[in-house]
Chains A and B, each alone.
Chain A
Amino acid sequence: MENKETSIGGENQPSKKGLKKQQKAAEKEAKKEARKQAQGEQQASQEEDVSKGFYGNMPMIQSTERPDRTILDLKDLTPSLKDKKVWVRARLQTSRAKGKQCFFVLRQQKWTIQALVCVGPNVSKQMVKFSAGINKESIIDVEGFVRTVDQKIEACSQHDVELHCEQVWVVSSAEPRLPLLIEDAVRPDTDDALATVNQDTRLDNRILDLRTTTNQAIFRIEAGVCKYFRDFLMEKDFIEVHVPKIISAASEGGANVFTVSYFKDKAYLAQSPQLYKQMAMTADFDRVFTIGQVFRAEDSNTHRHLTEFVGLDLEMAFKFHYHEVVEVIGDMFVHIFKNLRDNLQEEIETVGRQYKSEPFKFLEPSLVLTYKEGVRLLQDNGVDMGDEDDLSTPSEKLLGRLIKQKYDTDFFILDKFPLAVRPFYTMPDPTDKKWSNSYDMFMRGEEILSGAQRVHCPELLTERAKEKGVDIQHIKSYIDSFRYGAPPHAGGGIGMERVTMLFLGLDNIRKTSMFPRDPKRLTP
């Protein structure tokens, strides 16, 4: 295209467009100058990094040295340590940079504290920039002064102190993109506006999900259940035993067992330690309990079934009446509930913040009702069932609600079930053959324990097995174990995850199992 303007007139004066071009060039020059100056400043400040050597990525800790440095826990940072310089190691939960300052939240299990890096005589801009850029969930070492604050920091557990950082080192960095955010994982589900994490994502990324304060609390409560179970029984002269889980014959009904290849043969994974608990009875151990995995190959995808779970089982020989055992089991539950209520109240409240539920109520000693009374209560409320029918799951839930309304307890025991619905090794009632010496225990309307007085006579056992249509050949070794003198005994087993789930009022058993196994999940 012809440059009409410049060819017209051939004057020396530049035309309009030319003027504009010149202006633009001038502006560009000015900008370049400004940028150069800024860079110059930056370079200048880089050279003046006051905090060099006080921040950065720590070289991988390969146990090269043991510096004389005490690293405190976050829970110890209280106003009593005011103005002291401390070292802490925690996870970076969130960070927020604002010009010359960077606020970040450090988290250690369930304790959190707010930390601050701001430009000052010992802290440079580069350090603030570095702190703001650390990836979330990285493990960092921080040295700083503990300062008290005037306004309480509600969002953190250590709400009356703040950490003013002098040194920030990254011990182990996390990847920049996380599959789920911890703050989302702790949010209760009712908050519609903000994001929450659904169960499948949680279980796929279990290690991140387990870092939340709620999950830390849940598993501490589960540990409490085990501890108080053990403590109570050991005080009552029970011995802890461990029984094999690889067995040769399916213990209760062949349908729900996992098979494993055992060298050239096949073996099964134990459905319950029933068989071996009873053998321990005949071996004169008198009172035993065992804590171990139980494997059930049931293809049920419900909120309360897992294929592998931890069973807390006990068996006890008694003198005259199986109620001696029922009372021990009832007292054991009261002991567990009382101790959880008294010692782990903080954890229970933490769980309650994310998963709201009614607090667990119980009676001391435990409430025992007969099956007949329970059925009558249901019949009066319109449930159509016969006096000797088994309780269906909805009936059990309704019974739980009725008993809660009448006696105000979430835990109760039903005694004397009909014989027809119990397995063949249950001892029948002495006066009426329709009933059996068996009992079930319920928490919040869901069954957690099924137990009974066991048949300890080989002749009666054979007869009962025949009546129930069980093949005698399969259970020959079981019957033989009673041929050398067996004491009358009774017992029962509970699922640890189910008890924790029902105590806290959670809706799914996968929340109380660290790495749950169900028909659709084998990893992590």
Chain B
Amino acid sequence: MYKVETFYNNDEQTSIPDVMYSCRNYHSQEDEIPSSESDPLAALERKQNEIFSRLQCLRDTVKQLSSKYTVSTDMTSSKTAVTSSKSVQGTSSDQSSVPLLSPQKLNLGDVIHDLVVSADPDSPPLSLLVLYKVASEMFKVFATSYIHSSVVSMPQNLREVFQNGGCTNRDGNEVAFTLLWKKVQNGPTLMINPHKQTVIEGESNIARYIQRLINPDFDKCVVGATRIDEWLNLAEQYIRGNKKENAAVLKSLNSKLGSADWLVGNTLSLADIVMWSVINQSKGQKDSPSNVKNWLQRCERNPYFDLANSAL
């Protein structure tokens, strides 16, 4: 009745794949070198050059990307570091001491890096004043202070410890220490980037931040860093402790200082700075044992402590 054309062709060969996935061959996809090249060494050399050129391309793209996203590529510049002559404090072979400053400087970008510390004028953060002096050896630091409207009266020596405000040129500086005298509870607070953080509270924590700013390799020396952390925690406790607890702290300080000049390692470190600040804030230096008294004076003789001494 009807004749219908066949709509499939039985005779067609269908190829059954014998491979699950097939990938391109990674190695040598270029045209084979014309075999007129007789010298196998030259061929090897050319291959090597090609690889080098490809490596160079790769390195260039990585550099481009790193500069675009401002990532410090330590690989390229690790050994040839920029040294400032006085910066390395006590190159000791003793692994447990950590220098305050590092030979390498952190890249902070092109706009001034502003650290805003709010502190109560009744208990000024003396460690900040010492660290300011240390930091000014590495960076161009612009330090200024402001009095917040919650504070009605302030002692004169604190008012002048940093240049009080004024609109002189901030532009040439890399770091700014902005000290706000304000009524705060729970110790001084630090704020740098409001949308990336909440406030950081506590003098020890502020000291930790600034230490890592001026010595990015602080944590590399694990033993020393941990010992310093121990003293920093003790400092925080001391601020909140009652007379008995603080007396115990002074005792342990005394015993430690009997055998060494400084708290950690054989040179001035963050632990000494913060403990000194905390003891001076609570006016505990009068009735401290003899080793502690000597150590306090040793700190004060250090040139870094000049500014902090004027605030006492």
Contact = CB atoms under 8 A, between A and B. Distances in A.
B111 A327 contact: no
A362 B149 contact: yes
A440 to B, nearest CB: 13
B147 A368 contact: no
A463 interface: no
B165 A361 contact: no
Interface string A397-416: 00000100111110001010
Interface in A368-422: 368-370, 372-373, 376, 380-381, 402, 405-409, 413, 415
B167 A337 contact: no
A361 B111 contact: no
B148 A408 contact: yes
Nearest to A415: B167
A370 B171 contact: yes
A461 interface: no
B286 interface: no
B165 A364 contact: yes
A338 B151 CA distance: 11
B4 to A, nearest CB: 66
B158 interface: no
A490 to B, nearest CB: 13
A366 interface: yes
A202 interface: no
A187 interface: no
Contact of B146 (A364, A381, A405): A364
A364 B149 contact: yes
Given A365-B164, A402-B194, A373 B178 contact: no
Interface stretch (B30-38, B112-120, B215-223): B112-120
A175 to B, nearest CB: 46
Main secondary structure of the interface of B (DSSP, over half): loop
B150 interface: yes
> What class of interface size applies to chain B in its complex with A?
20 to 34
Contacts of B182: 408
B166 interface: yes
Counting chain B CB atoms within 10 Å of each CB, which of A360, A405, A415 scores highest? A405
B64 interface: no
A337 B149 contact: yes
B194 A406 contact: yes
- Nearest first, the 3 A-B pairs at minimum CB distance are A365-B165, A405-B194, A368-B167
Interface of A: 323, 326-327, 330, 337-338, 341, 360-370, 372-373, 376, 380-381, 402, 405-409, 413, 415
Given A361-B148, A373-B170, 9 more contacts: A323-B168, A326-B167, A327-B167, A365-B164, A368-B165, A372-B111, A406-B192, A407-B178, A409-B146
29 contacts: A323-B166, A326-B167, A330-B167, A338-B149, A360-B149, A363-B149, A363-B165, A364-B146, A364-B148, A364-B165, A365-B165, A366-B165, A368-B167, A369-B170, A370-B170, A370-B171, A372-B111, A381-B195, A402-B195, A405-B191, A405-B194, A406-B114, A406-B116, A406-B193, A407-B116, A407-B180, A408-B118, A408-B180, A409-B148
